[in-house]
Amino acid sequence: MGLDIRTIYMMNAVVYLMLHGIIWVSLARYKNRVVTLWSVWGMVSAAGVVLLGSEGLVPDWVVAVFGQVLMAAGNFGRQYAMRSIAGNPSVRWLWRQGLSNLAYLALNGTLFFSGADRAQMMVVFFAFYAINCIDYFFAGRAIARRRGSPGARSVQWSGLVFSGTLSVKCLSVGLGWGAQDLYDPSWDQVVLFTGQFLAISLVNFGFMQIQIDQFQQERVKTELALAVQRDRAVLAERNSLDLTQLLREREEIVRRLTLSNKSAGMGALVSGIAHEINQPLTTMVLKTELIETYLRDGQPETVEVRGLCEQIRKDTHRAAGMIKTLRNMFASPGARTERLDFAGLLRDVVGMVRSHADRQGIAVTLKVPQQLWFWGDATKLQQVVLNLLNNAIQAFATKDVLQPSIVLNCQLVEGWVELQVQDNGCGIDVAAQDDVFALFKSPRSHGMGVGLWLSQSVVQDHGGTIEFTSTPGQGTVFVLRLPVRDSGAQIS
């Protein structure tokens, strides 16, 4: 028939190399493991086909051993890559395909080295691959079910063409109807190589189509994910603006409640504050009258007059200090962080409530260092301490205590400023303890339910905590903890 079968084998190898090389180069930018496996093992198959076409040019045992091993390995590698598209190949498949390939290679080697007939070895060769290559059909079907790519149909047809043409070749050799030697020209060789070229093209184009479809689907998913992320970013920005507005409104509510709570808290202390301010003013009037008496009688006692003037100056400073403290407590509660002496702040607030507590027979004890410097909002922290002291004083309104007392103990503990406000009053009812910090809920019938909620908000804004323990009938301890931060608290 004028066919040069050896040349056709080499052409077949070139087709293998070209198609797998094109796939590798074209899809290299995706850096896909399956593409690499397919391309590399396709080239291994091409090397095996080259050896099959080199009989007479190389020793027969090289063709029988290395040619068969390369073809089996290349075909198994490509089947593994194809199966991987639909998911990781099952262990059962790996064992079946691996053992069948090893069994074939062992049988082929046994036949060759035992001197078996060439036609017999060809029947075994074509029969094995006719059965083995039908796996492409099943792999294509699995891919079609999982991904629905049009390329899967090409893979299925390639499996049928591979298996069909190899079966024809196997039967023709076995029944003596075709070429009995590997390179004999015959009609069955035409069928074989036509089927091979067609099947190789179908399986490679199908593989490429599947991969391109997969990459396109992943690209679409990525673009959709990016679109969702953009939408979420826009929504987050809108929510951020809404949250900013809500925070401003919350800040305004806190500001108004602070002013309201200050007014309510100071109401009970007005008489005591009036007494504290009236005391130095009365003393100043008396001392001024005494100085006038000295001057009117013409008996200027220089030493005594100077002493009286010094006392007047001290009383004036005392009254001015009280007024300054009041002005600070009623200042606008806008955020103003500054370096403050927390010990001095406690002394000022205790000084405001002491007269009120003394009139009710309540002993107020303050245990603080001489100075305790850290960063915070003095006005808001004054309000917190005032709330805690007012609550402690009110704890004695419904209970007669032999020695009512309030103890404030402030110290620096492991990087935290810790203030304990302890009283031995009526305590907080167990049923009301869960709502102590709730807004508009108060354990007292006449309470507003604002002070402790506001105190907690202020403390949390400073990064601190406020907790309490209370035993009904025995008293309550509030513990306020504020972080030192990196400013470095100084204690002396």
DSSP letters for 353-371:
HHHHHHHTT-EEEEE--S-
Side chain identity, residue 427: G
Q: How confident is the model at residue 354 (pLDDT cuts 50, 70, 90)?
A: confident
CATH architecture of 336-492: 2-Layer Sandwich (3.30)
The reported pLDDT for the residue numbered 480 is: 92
Has residue 390 got a pLDDT over 90? Answer: no
Close Cβ partners of 301 (under 8 Å, ≥ 6 residues apart): 294
The reported pLDDT for the residue numbered 107 is: 92
Has residue 314 got a pLDDT over 80? Answer: no
207-240 pLDDT per residue, tens: 888 888 888 888 888 888 888 888 888 888 877 7
177-207 pLDDT per residue, tens: 888 887 788 888 888 889 888 988 898 898 8
The reported pLDDT for the residue numbered 239 is: 79
Q: Phi and psi at residue 467, in whole multiples of 5°?
A: -135, 170
Q: What is the rounded distance in angstroms from the CA atom of residue 405 to the CA atom of residue 358? A: 10
Domain extents in the chain: 5-231, 268-330, 336-492
Residue 408 tokens, joined: 């404030």
- Fold classification of 5-231 is Rhopdopsin 7-helix transmembrane proteins (1.20.1070)
Has residue 138 got a pLDDT over 80? Answer: yes
Report the side by side order of strands in the sheet with 338-341.
Answer: 338-341, 372-376, 490-491
Q: How confident is the model at residue 30 (pLDDT cuts 50, 70, 90)?
A: confident
The Cα-based distances of 81 to 33, 39, 73, 76 in angstroms read 9, 9, 12, 9
pTM of model > 0.85:
no
Close Cβ partners of 186 (under 8 Å, ≥ 6 residues apart): 1, 172, 178, 179
Mean pLDDT of all residues in 382-388: 86
Q: What is the rounded distance in angstroms from the CA atom of residue 308 to the CA atom of residue 301? A: 10
What's the whole-number average pLDDT of the chain?
Answer: 80
Per the model's pLDDT, the better-predicted residue between 451 and 165 turns out to be 165
The reported pLDDT for the residue numbered 69 is: 92
DSSP output for 324-345 = HHHHHHTS------EEEEHHHH
